[in-house]
Every structure is written in C-alpha cells, then in structure tokens.
Chains A and B, each alone.
Chain A
C-alpha cells in the first residue's frame, strides 16, 4: 500500500496493519466475544460505515452488521477519524485492502459506469420504443378504416364455425 508521511510513521502504521490483519482473521474464524467494551462511536462513523460492505455478511453494511469484522471496521473508522483522516482517505484505506468491492457505491468508471448510466439508458430505450410504437399507430390511423385484416376474417370464420358446431 501507499504509505504517507515519514518512514517511521509509515512503518508503525504497517506494523499495526499487520497486527490488525491477524486480529481480523482471528475474529472471522472464531468470533470470540471479548469482555472489553467496544469503543464509543460517533454519528460520523456510522455515516462512513454505511457506505462500506461488511465482508463476511450477506448484504449488510459495516454500519448495520454485528459480525466481528464489522465491529472491527467501525473501530478502525473511529480511530482514523480521531487521527484526523478524511472520509475519502478512510474509504481509500478499505479499498486498498478489499478492492472496490467494499464500496456499496460503485465507482463511476469502467464497467460500473454503465450502472450509473442505466437510468438514462432505460429511459432512452423505452422512449425510443414508445416513439416507434406511436409512429406506427399514426401510420395505422392514416390507413383506410375499412381495412379488415385477413387474420381477422379467418378468426371470425373459425369462431362462427365453432359456434355452429357446439
């Protein structure tokens, strides 16, 4: 990962990350319930955590889940906020460890750009379909009114026949 600041600070951070990784692994494997109170969390922590996926959960964000790893993520966010990091930096921290997958909001580039364009695409496709449909209707309206299609005649004949036979 990219390390900011002086070397010693970077190394300290690196060591802490390593320890943290082991800790997260231990939690994910065993899910112990340590008898120490979790840290107090400010509203800001939850706002940031809400945009992050809880990696071991099924469709829950890091703000909602009670899984050990989500609890730990909230703790990391609180710590980094206390260190004065910005929301973008904290997000970046998690993206570097887990990839874009951790973000519930897909980045507006590459393949996920299409999702952001989907409202325009959907509206465009449907409007185009509607426009074609309406222009067909217009053409139909101009056609002579006594135009009875062949299918309609066969259908009517078939129905008359069944009525007679049944």
Chain B
C-alpha cells in the first residue's frame, strides 16, 4: 500500500461516512427513533478514524518523500528538515482543508459523546446532523476539487519545496493549527444553536455551549497572537498587524465570537437577548467560512495567502448555506421567542449589550473595509485601497469605547446600582484622568496618554473588584485575606478568569498604542567597520559572509550594537543579520534579528549587500516600544481563558436557572 492510495481511500471513506451520518441523523430526527441516533454516533467515531488515517497518510507521504503524490511534489522537498516536513500538511491549500476537516471530525465526535445525555434526543440529531453536513462539505471539496492525493504520473526526483516564508519560523508549526482549532470550534455552538431553533428550546443551549465557545475563542485568540508574532519576526517590516485581508479574515470571527461570549452571559443570567445570540453565533461561524472564501478564492490578494486554488465558489456556496440556514431558522422562530424581562441599562447587562454593539460594529467596519475595494471596482471600475491607515484610525474611537465599557461592565451589578458602585466608578474615572495627565506630563501624544489613562482605569476596576470581594469574604467567613483570595479565585473561576483576561486586553491596548505611535525606522549603508549612531544605539558592521545551509543559501552580516542612551537600554550585543536565498524564490528573504527589551525593541534587517567585493551592507533598523509586552498580554489572555476552562476538583453541577430565565 502506498500513502497516496491509503490517503485517497480514507478520504472517500470519510466523505461517505459523513453523508451516512447526515442521513442517519436526519432519519433519527424525522422518525424520532433513538436507534438511528446511536448509529450516527458510531459513524462520527469512524469518520474521525478515516480522517486521521487520511491525514496520517499525507504525513507519511511527506516524510518518505513520495513525490508521486501531487501535494508532496508541489509543496515539499527531500531537503526539508524534519520539523518543516511535519508541518508541511498545512503549508498549502489541500493539506489545510484536510487538517480543517480532520479537526471537524474530532469536534463532531466529542459532541456525539454528549448526544443522548446533556444533549437531549430532540436536539442531538439536529446538532450532529449540522456537524455532519459541515464535514460533508469539507470532504467533498477535497474529493472533487482540491484532492491532496492526486497521483503524479511521472514523479519528479524532488518536490518544488515549501513556501520559504513558512519554513523561516517555528511559529508556523503552531499558528495555523490554533487558527483552525478556533474556526472549527465555532461550528459546535453553531450546531447547538441550530438544534435549539429546530427543537424550539431557546435557553438551555447557552449553558451547554459556553464551554465550547470559550474553547474556540481561546484558540482564536492564541492564533491571532501567534500570527502577530510570526508577522513581527518574519516579515521584516517591524509591525505585527497590517490589516491585510487574511488578518481581517481572522479578526472578524474573533470580534463576533467575543460579542457572542458577552451577550450569552446576559441570556444565561437574565434569559434575555435570545434572538440576538442565535444571530451572533451564526454570523461568527459564517465569518470563518467567509474568511476562507476571501483568502482562498483569489478575489482579494494578500501577503499571507499561501494557499489559493479553485475552491472559492464552493466556499461561497457553503457560506450562503450557513447564513441561510442559521438566519432563516431564526426568522422562522423569532416571533415565538420569549424574553424573560426587560433590559436595565444602568446594570451589567446594559454594559454587556453596549459592548456587544461595539464588537458588532467593529466587525461590520472590518467586513466593509475589506470588501469595499471590490465593491468600488464593480460599481465604477475604479481601483481603490482600504488599508492600515484607515483601519487604525477608525479603530481608535471604537477601541476607546470598548475599553471604557470593559472597565464599567464588571463593576456594575446585575441589579440596580448602589452607592458602593458609584464610589468605585468615581475612583476609576480619577485613575483615567490621572493616567492621561501623567502621559501629558511625560510629553507623550494625546492617544498614548489616553491609553495610559484607560489602562489605569481598567486596572483600578479590577483591583477594586478583587479587593472588595476579598474583604467581604474575609469578614464574613472570618479568614485571612490570602485565604479569602484563594477562596474567591477557586469558587468564582469565571469571574476571576475574566478579570485576568480583561487585564491582558487592557495591557494589549496600551502596548498597541505605544508601538503604533512610536515606531521608528531608518535605513543606512555601512562599510565594513563603519559605525552608525541612531536612536540610542551605535551599530558597527563587522563583516559580510556567505553560508550554504540545508535547503537554502544565506548571506550573513554580523553587527555589533552598543547602547549609547536610555532608549537603547538592553540592546547591546552581537547579532547576525541575514538574507536567505531559497531556490524556489526569485528574491532573497530577509530574516530580521529582533532584540526584545522591556521598553524598546531593536529590530535589524539586512536589506542588501555588496555581492562583488563584500565591502558594504545596507541595514534597516526598526525601534518599536513595548512589543515584548504585547506577547505578555497575549499570554495573560490565553492563561486567563485556560483558568476559566480548567476543570475544578469539586465541580458544581450546571447552575440552576433562575425561574425567570426559562424558555
């Protein structure tokens, strides 16, 4: 047996199993017969097995350099190091779809374990059927248009190699997997929502999916931060977010999922906003498909679009099906959804709804901005660009409102506010004012000063909430503050974890304000031995050399950096700037050297060098403040999410619904 045969056969098997699963789920639904549901559950396990076999076959083909498989011939090379070969399955279109489909089968299987238990027999067939339908789509795309295992009649001696941008950094091994885990994860709450609408039980799904949504959200967040990191360390322009279509495609589902996470809490606690939650989760899941359509169809060009191909039309159809399915069902049932009361604006639910409004608006702006060049071209034939300067400017006011609400929301109680709350809000506003003033005194720009103020404001909010919670507990239970803190952190994991996440977000906002405002870029050609004085450092070019590495050729220019001022603190050292030449790429690829420090990052890129005599080299220096803290912020957000998700020892069974919060 060859890997190509195994992969192809298991791919077809997975498609057939998915179709059968869909048919059996439908039968279970129509005939109301639990036996069909049992059979569908077993099929989901078999589907996972077939998908894993198929994915394993692709790894096998790549690891054994089987160039009779088209994917391996087109996207791998015998000279690639082992880790590059291991991650090659998601370096191009067909393999990425296979990974996506495999993760989908895993999620379907996990959901099937709940069918018949927490997922009752009226909803389980619909939820499983929805997930099987998603699987059918992905496997059909692979079998009919983007087959990873197409046979190559005359296998070449070596493959064309993997995209150099992807092999240049280990981050590429994790970022796409995290992204797909997040994208696919959103299909579960979507399937539950569909099931809830079909079975007309509009409340309980919110409790059952909060774990799933948070898992997907955590993966998406981690993926976005690792993507930023990769972009910063590899693309060589000193930035981490360019508002490029592929980046936008990843932020849109994230924004909508964030909106959903917050409004879902309103439904959980107050039985309100049911209709909107159905719409938000449908749009969030649709946005993952929309993103894939955008970047894989070739409609919009992007620097990250590593995988493109003839699958655009399929994804567009699938997107329409998801939207029509989710929103169509909602339109059908919306008149009978009963809300359990009214919204009080001056309470936590008011802040959560307002926050969701801004997240929704932000998603709307990103969608419109990404698509607008296309719209203009169709409408008038003119070509326009909507890029980073636009998105940066519009995200400032939106971000300010979101940060303000992030502080207020958790401080406000669910019921009407009290005197204590007013005191807390006053303290937060004072922190906002003092922080902003401090920025001005330090001579910082308006935006950055405001960012400091907002950081202080959010920090104060979190501090007050934790301190007051600990104080109350210590008094009422008669325990020490440390014990009270531990008690609070373990008994209110969601609340405590959300404080951690919010702190991470506040820190991220601060670092973004600093790094976007004070980035400094300069370029200079140096002779060997020459020194260059700039932004707090003295750079000396030591030599120029060349080196042959496994599958590339590298030009290296070591430099010595000495800090000459406060700004350059922590940048001292010898660094090797380099240009990598890959045989499959026309132009060289610069690999920047990044020296992180607690304040300024120093970033050196070799731009050009004297190819004849090796006498000069052109260096670019980029100095950006606080980027290191952005990665810290990302880590804090992910750890906070993990904290909420981590199963606790004595787990309280699902919270009792309040009597007003019924269906």
Q: Do A and B bind each other?
A: yes
**Residues of A near any B CB (own CB < 8 A):** 31, 33, 35, 37-43, 45-47, 50-51, 53, 57-61, 63-64, 66-67, 74, 99-106, 111-112, 114-116, 118-119, 121-123, 125-127, 130, 133-134, 137-138, 140-141, 149, 151-152, 155, 159, 162, 165-166
Partner of B122, one of A50, A57, A138, A159: A159
**24 sampled A-B residue pairs with Cβ under 8 A:** A31-B586, A35-B612, A37-B616, A37-B618, A39-B525, A43-B520, A43-B521, A45-B523, A46-B523, A53-B385, A58-B301, A61-B388, A67-B587, A100-B382, A101-B385, A104-B385, A106-B372, A106-B386, A112-B372, A119-B394, A126-B360, A130-B276, A151-B200, A155-B200
Asked if B610 and A35 make an inter-chain contact with CB atoms under 8 angstroms apart, the answer reads yes
What 1/0 flags go to B390-403 for Cβ under 8 Å of A? 10011001100000
Partner of A122, one of B121, B242, B361, B522: B361
Partner of A140, one of B339, B387, B618: B339
Closest partner residue, chain A, to B616 (CB atom): A37
Chain B contacts with A in 324-372, Cβ cutoff 8 A: 336, 338-339, 341-343, 353, 357-358, 360-362, 364-365, 368-369, 372
Task: Give the size of the chain B interface in residues (CB under 8 angstroms).
Answer: 73
Asked if A106 and B360 make an inter-chain contact with CB atoms under 8 angstroms apart, the answer reads no
Given A115-B386, A152-B200, A134 and B342 contact (CB-CB distance below 8 Å): yes
Chain B neighbourhood of A104, CB < 8 A: 385-390
Asked if B357 and A130 make an inter-chain contact with CB atoms under 8 angstroms apart, the answer reads yes
Q: Chain B's nearest CB lies how many Å from the CB of A54?
A: 10
Closest partner residue, chain B, to A100 (CB atom): B384
User: How distant is the Cα of A66 from the Cα of B90 in the complex, in angstroms?
Assistant: 26
Asked if A38 and B237 make an inter-chain contact with CB atoms under 8 angstroms apart, the answer reads no
Chain A neighbourhood of B393, CB < 8 A: 105
Chain B neighbourhood of A121, CB < 8 A: 364
Asked if A58 and B302 make an inter-chain contact with CB atoms under 8 angstroms apart, the answer reads yes
Chain B neighbourhood of A46, CB < 8 A: 521-523
User: How distant is the Cα of A152 from the Cα of B389 in the complex, in angstroms?
Assistant: 52
Asked if B342 and A137 make an inter-chain contact with CB atoms under 8 angstroms apart, the answer reads yes
**Residues of B near any A CB (own CB < 8 A):** 32-34, 121-122, 200, 235-237, 239, 242, 244-246, 272, 275-276, 301-305, 336, 338-339, 341-343, 353, 357-358, 360-362, 364-365, 368-369, 372, 375-376, 379-380, 382-390, 393-394, 397-398, 520-525, 586-588, 590, 607-608, 610-612, 616, 618
The secondary structure that dominates the A interface is helix
Asked if A41 and B522 make an inter-chain contact with CB atoms under 8 angstroms apart, the answer reads yes
Give the A-B pair count, Cβ closer than 8 A.
178
User: How distant is the Cα of A164 from the Cα of B236 in the complex, in angstroms?
Assistant: 67
Partner of B341, one of A33, A57, A123, A141: A141
Asked if B384 and A133 make an inter-chain contact with CB atoms under 8 angstroms apart, the answer reads no
Given A61-B387, A119-B394, A137 and B339 contact (CB-CB distance below 8 Å): yes
Given A37-B525, A66-B590, A137-B339, A105 and B384 contact (CB-CB distance below 8 Å): no
Partner of A33, one of B122, B235, B384, B611: B611
Asked if A106 and B385 make an inter-chain contact with CB atoms under 8 angstroms apart, the answer reads yes
User: How distant is the Cα of A40 from the Cα of B524 in the complex, in angstroms?
Assistant: 4
The 3 A-B pairs with the shortest beta carbon distances in the complex, nearest first, are A104-B387, A64-B237, A122-B364
Chain A neighbourhood of B358, CB < 8 A: 123
Asked if A38 and B387 make an inter-chain contact with CB atoms under 8 angstroms apart, the answer reads no
User: How distant is the Cα of A114 from the Cα of B379 in the complex, in angstroms?
Assistant: 13
Asked if B336 and A151 make an inter-chain contact with CB atoms under 8 angstroms apart, the answer reads yes
Asked if B343 and A152 make an inter-chain contact with CB atoms under 8 angstroms apart, the answer reads no
Chain B neighbourhood of A74, CB < 8 A: 523
Given A101-B385, A151-B336, A119 and B397 contact (CB-CB distance below 8 Å): yes
Chain A neighbourhood of B394, CB < 8 A: 116, 118-119
Asked if B245 and A59 make an inter-chain contact with CB atoms under 8 angstroms apart, the answer reads yes
Asked if A59 and B242 make an inter-chain contact with CB atoms under 8 angstroms apart, the answer reads yes
Closest partner residue, chain B, to A155 (CB atom): B200
Q: Chain B's nearest CB lies how many Å from the CB of A101?
A: 4
Q: Chain A's nearest CB lies how many Å from the CB of B35?
A: 9
Asked if A115 and B390 make an inter-chain contact with CB atoms under 8 angstroms apart, the answer reads yes
User: How distant is the Cα of A33 from the Cα of B34 in the complex, in angstroms?
Assistant: 70
Q: Chain B's nearest CB lies how many Å from the CB of A148?
A: 10
Name the residue among A57, A102, A116, A165 with the largest chain B CB count within 10 angstroms.
A116
Asked if A37 and B383 make an inter-chain contact with CB atoms under 8 angstroms apart, the answer reads no
Closest partner residue, chain A, to B333 (CB atom): A151
Partner of B364, one of A38, A126, A140: A126
Q: Chain B's nearest CB lies how many Å from the CB of A104?
A: 3
Asked if A134 and B372 make an inter-chain contact with CB atoms under 8 angstroms apart, the answer reads no
Asked if A51 and B618 make an inter-chain contact with CB atoms under 8 angstroms apart, the answer reads no
User: How distant is the Cα of A162 from the Cα of B586 in the complex, in angstroms?
Assistant: 67
Closest partner residue, chain A, to B397 (CB atom): A119
User: How distant is the Cα of A122 from the Cα of B34 in the complex, in angstroms?
Assistant: 45
User: How distant is the Cα of A114 from the Cα of B360 in the complex, in angstroms?
Assistant: 18
Chain B neighbourhood of A37, CB < 8 A: 525, 608, 610, 616, 618
Given A59-B245, A140-B339, A101 and B384 contact (CB-CB distance below 8 Å): yes
Asked if A31 and B587 make an inter-chain contact with CB atoms under 8 angstroms apart, the answer reads yes
Closest partner residue, chain B, to A64 (CB atom): B237
Asked if B235 and A38 make an inter-chain contact with CB atoms under 8 angstroms apart, the answer reads no
Chain A neighbourhood of B121, CB < 8 A: 166
Asked if B372 and A114 make an inter-chain contact with CB atoms under 8 angstroms apart, the answer reads yes
Partner of B522, one of A42, A51, A99: A42
Partner of B32, one of A112, A115, A166: A166
User: How distant is the Cα of A17 from the Cα of B60 in the complex, in angstroms?
Assistant: 56
User: How distant is the Cα of A27 from the Cα of B661 in the complex, in angstroms?
Assistant: 67
Closest partner residue, chain A, to B611 (CB atom): A35
User: How distant is the Cα of A107 from the Cα of B361 in the complex, in angstroms?
Assistant: 21
Given A111-B379, A133-B275, A40 and B611 contact (CB-CB distance below 8 Å): no
User: How distant is the Cα of A99 from the Cα of B612 in the complex, in angstroms?
Assistant: 39
Asked if B353 and A63 make an inter-chain contact with CB atoms under 8 angstroms apart, the answer reads no
Chain A neighbourhood of B372, CB < 8 A: 106, 111-112, 114-115
- Other A-B pairs beyond A43-B522, A59-B245, 20, CB < 8 Å: A37-B610, A43-B521, A58-B305, A60-B242, A60-B303, A74-B523, A100-B383, A106-B385, A111-B372, A114-B372, A115-B369, A115-B372, A115-B386, A116-B390, A122-B364, A125-B364, A126-B357, A130-B276, A130-B357, A141-B341
